[in-house]
Structure 1
Amino acid sequence: MKYKILTFLFFTTLSVISQKKTINKSDIYGCWTDSFEEYSNESNFKVFRPCNYDKIPPARFRYRFEIKKNGEFQWLEMAENDGHYMRKGTWTYDSKSKTLSVFNKKKNKVKDLVIINMIKGMLTLEKN
């Protein structure tokens, strides 16, 4: 019970702080790795750390993506044969809604990533 209360308070604090802070495109450039140890299945957010963050333990599959200045977006996919490969696309960012939209090579929208909070070394996204 204590864990659930702390998780709720953490998320609520992040939401309040993030509503006041403007997040620029330059803040989100780089490679980001899913740090699923830092949230639970019941959470409505996900935590991502820089790909070179050394406190994340090894895992069979850990989702990651890279946001490049030139508008390219790459994300890690796991194939049916359990192989991993990087898929390439593009991205746009709406600073008002804090939404990063990802498109495949055919310019079809693949997903929207809504940023809850961005602090140095940690990117928090809405779970979707």
Structure 2
Amino acid sequence: MTVVTTSRKPVPEVRSLARDLAFAIGAEYATRGKMGMGDLLSSHDGPVLIVSRSGQSFLIQVFSGGEAVAGIRVLSFAVEEREGAISRGLAVSDRALASALEGLVDMVFFVDALPEDRIVFDGRQRRRYTLRVAP
């Protein structure tokens, strides 16, 4: 099963982003606590996503089989109230990112429906996230 967690001492917005990301992709959210990277990666069979803050941006690291397979630098994100039915999974507009995530997380690649370099997903409590990622 896919697991989403945070850096060791996350700020509230990182924790909220990680929980809603886990909800969107049908993953388990795990509180990191004092668990080191080696322990974290060895204690889970499926993919592990780690959400952290890196300076002014955010970073989502994706690991599979203990190896890093993708690093997603989130330059900014917006949260708005979701209207209508909830959509599961991630909507991704970057071809390279979609290729890296294929088979690891529930996602759909959109060529024209989203602005370039975006990830969109629906979180808990009627929230919709739009992440602007570095190309």
Instruction: Give the alignment's TM-score, normalised by structure 1.
Output: 0.35
Structure with greater Cα Rg: 1
